[in-house]
Structure formats: structure tokens, C-alpha cells
Structure 1
Amino acid sequence: EGIIARFRTMAIHRPSVLIGHVVGSVLQSVVSVVLVGAVAVAIGFRSTGATALEWLAAFGLLVLFALALTWIAVGMGLISPNAEAASNNAMPLILLPLLSSAFTPVASMPGWFEPIAEYQPFTPAIETLRGLLLGSEIGNNGWLAVAWCLGLAVLGYFWSTAKFN
């Protein structure tokens, strides 16, 4: 808390502390994605005809998604009363990929569960990544994924800066 109190007294842009943390976290996520991708290729993953532009678009979507979730996690951390609560507040975000089309097609899910899986941010992102790297149909999932990412990032930014101020 001492360093943050010092930053608040200095003549710097108020959200720069948060932006610095977010940039560092997103860079860690990028390194993780590159390592996981390298391991996937090393153990046999081959993209079926994806061009360099499609690989770049998939990487960009992953970076944008990491940025959005990081801003939301920063907001959750700022509303937490202590460090232990901050580390556990983002736990529900870990469950969202399990409630998406990551492992099972949405059409094969029970009828009451389909809307939950279909209308959340992970499903369009996963379907877009599949389309880009595996050659399946993307439809409007690409635009939905980008809209979810931008919406969550903007929401997280304004929420985090309001709580920080």
C-alpha cells in the first residue's frame, strides 16, 4: 500500500499504475499462449490450411481476450477486502470455458443449458479460434468475440479506474 499511496501523491496519470499492471499481465498471458502453442505444435497439432493472416488473427483474438479478462480481474481485485479474497474473486471466470462450446457443441447440450453456453463470451471466441485454425465456419462469431472482448475491456477499465480513484 505504501508505493500506491506514493504514486497517488505524484503528478502522474492516475490509471497508469493499473495500466502498467494490466500490460504486464497481458504480456505474461502472451508468453503463456506462445508456450502452449509451441508445445501443441511439438506434440502434433497441425492447422488445416490456416494462412499466416489467420494465425495472426487468432493470436490477436487471444491477446484481446486476455486484455478483457485482465481488466475484469483488476476490477474484482480492487473491490476485494484483502489479498486472499482478491485471488479467489476471479474464480468464477475459470468455470466459464467449461460452460461453453469448448468441449461439447452447444447444439448437443440440454435445452435449458444451451442459452447459457451460447450467450457468454467464451463460446464465440472458441468458435472463432476453431474457424481460424481448423477451417470450420466462423459465421458472425468473430464479430461477437471482438465485441465481447472490447465490451469487457472497456467495462473493466472504467470499473477499475473508478474503484482505484
Structure 2
Amino acid sequence: MSTVTESRVAEGQKVLGVLLPETERPTPSSAVSASITFGWRAMLKIKHIPMQLFDVTIFPIIMTVMFTYIFGGAMGAVVSGTGQTGGPAVSEYVQFFIPGIFVQTLIMITMYTGMTLNKDISKGIFDRFRSLPTWRPAQLVGALLGDQVRYTLAGVIILGVGFLVGFRPEGGLSGAAAGFLLLLVFSFCLSWVWTTLSLLLPTEEAVMGASMTIMMPLTFASNIFVPTETMPNWLQGVVEANPVSVVVTAIRELMDGTYDVGSITLVFIYCAVLVAIFAPLSMFLYNRKS
């Protein structure tokens, strides 16, 4: 019996040697190609479930129009310092407000990254991914890269609506593009925070609740809606140190045509800190996830 078994094993190995010759084995994917592949998977999910684009199409329009025409007159009087409301105040407020709502909308959309990852993990699909002979972080990096398409679409919509309501950046197209690129970099780095939450918390609802708890004070205790100078003295230092305020300031300067190296460098420092802390933590949790 053992002789028959050994002969069958030998025949099987010979067949495998013919089908999969050692000299023609597939080349393992690189870190970049693996990340791009998983990013393409994230984009295909949007193709099959177009409702995922609701938050990046309708939400930016609602926020921009609402704050411009409902709150613009009152807030414009605060920004201008004249106390006058009406058309001129709204027009002046638009120049101040659009870069701020541009930042707020994109960084709030990043929260959906954690929710999407949590859903995939709960379905078990990432258990299959971890068994593949690919660069392990590619599965998370690819998901974040795919979301950059959603961020880009939302940003284009906001700027388009902003131009319709009268926004005219003094820095021109180059300044707006530079601010857009800087915000995409920051959004990618911030997404690692929600990735960590998606691996820590058990459900989408829990991820959403924790994300909103973090995001609400970051966005509203900032200089998005009004200048820091209008706030109490004890609050101004906190608001100025807020990473969202730092990003908004840098993007306002870029859109005004001012390329302040100090402001841009500070944004990249925040980006580096976010990635240095939350990317390794996400991978640690991901590798331990059962």
C-alpha cells in the first residue's frame, strides 16, 4: 500500500512540475502594485453601489449653500467687523468661508473610511486578503488610496459651488490647486485615525459615534466659520493649536496666493505625527484581528 501511495505522490509532483515550472512562476506583486490593486477594488465598490457617493455630492452642496445664504449675512458682519449685514457682508464672508467649508467637508468625509473598513472586516473579506502573498499594509493603504477619489470629487463640487456663489481666490487656479493637493495629503493621513477605530470597535455604528465625537469639536472649535480673534482669550490658544485650524489657515493663504513655508511645514508635521502614530497602530491591530 505504501508503495502505491509513494508512486501516486511522485506522479502528482511530476504533473505539478509541468503545470507550474519553477522558471515561470508569477512574480510577486510589489508594495505599490498591491496597494493600487486594493485601491481599484475600493473604486469598483463605488461603481456597484453608487449611493456611496451621496455624502460627497449632496452634502457639500447643502453645507455650502446653507452657510452662505442663511448664516452668511450675520457671520459676514462678524468677519468684516463693520456690523453691517446684507449682500456686501455675504460677499466678503464667502471669500473667508469657502476655504473653511472646503476643509470641513473633506475631513468629515474621511470618517466613512473607517465605517467601510469595519463593514469589510465584519464580513470576513480581510481574512482572505491576509492569506494572500502580498505586502500586508497594502490592504489598508489601498482602501485609503481609493477613497482619495471620493475626496477629490467632493472638493471639486465645493469649489464649483463656491465659484457660483461668488468665491474668487486671489491666488488663482494655481493657488486653489495647491490648497486642494495639501488638503488631500492631510485627509489621507487623518484617515489612519478612523482606520484604527474601525479595527478597535465592533460595529459601524460604534465607529460612526466615536468618529463624530472626535470630529465635532475639531471642526467647530476651529477657525472654519469665524476668525480666532473673535473668540475668548482662553480659547484662542486651543483653537490655533487645533490641526484643523492649522490646515484651514494654510489653505486660505495658498488660495490667497501666499505660500507661507511655515504654515505648510506645520501641516506636514501634523501629517507625519498622525501617520507615525496611527499607521503602525492600525497594522498592529490588523495583524491581531481574528
Relative to the length of structure 2, the TM-score reads 0.52
Q: Is the 8 A contact 2:172 2:257 kept in 1?
A: no
**1:98 equivalenced with 2:220 (yes/no):** yes
Asked whether 1:133 is paired with 2:278, we answer no
Are residue 60 (structure 1) and residue 178 (structure 2) matched? no
Larger relative helix fraction: 2
1:101-120 equivalences under 5 Å are 101-120=223-242
Deviations 1:49-104 (A, max 9, x none): x1443223211111012102211111111111222111222112233121111122
- Secondary structure of 1:55's counterpart equals helix
The one-letter code sitting in structure 1 at the alignment partner of 2:167 is: F
Quick check: which has more Rg, 1 or 2?
2
Higher relative contact order (CA 8 A, sep 6+): 1
Change (3 A) 1:29 1:90: same
Query: Which of 176, 193, 205 is matched with 1:72 structurally?
Result: 193
1:4 and 1:139 map into 2 onto residues whose CA distance is: 41
Bigger CA drift: 117-126 or 4-13?
4-13
| Count of residues paired in the alignment | 164
Report the Cα distance in structure 1 between the residues aligned to 2:177 and 2:260, rounded to whole angstroms. Answer: 16
Q: Which residue of 1 aligns with 2:275?
A: 153
5+ residue gaps, structure 2, are 1-122
Percent identity among equivalent residues? Answer: 27
State the match for 1:44 in structure 2. Answer: 166
Confirm or deny: 8 A CA contact 2:175 2:257 kept in the other structure: no
CA-atom RMSD, angstroms?
Answer: 1.9
Q: Is the 8 A contact 1:71 1:157 kept in 2?
A: yes
What residue ranges of structure 1 are gaps of 5+ in the alignment? none
Alpha-carbon deviations, 1:122-156, whole Å to 9, x = none? 11111111111135684722221121123213322
- Find out whether 1:9 has 2:134 as its counterpart: no
Q: Work out the CA distance in 1 between the residues paired with 2:166 and 2:226.
A: 22
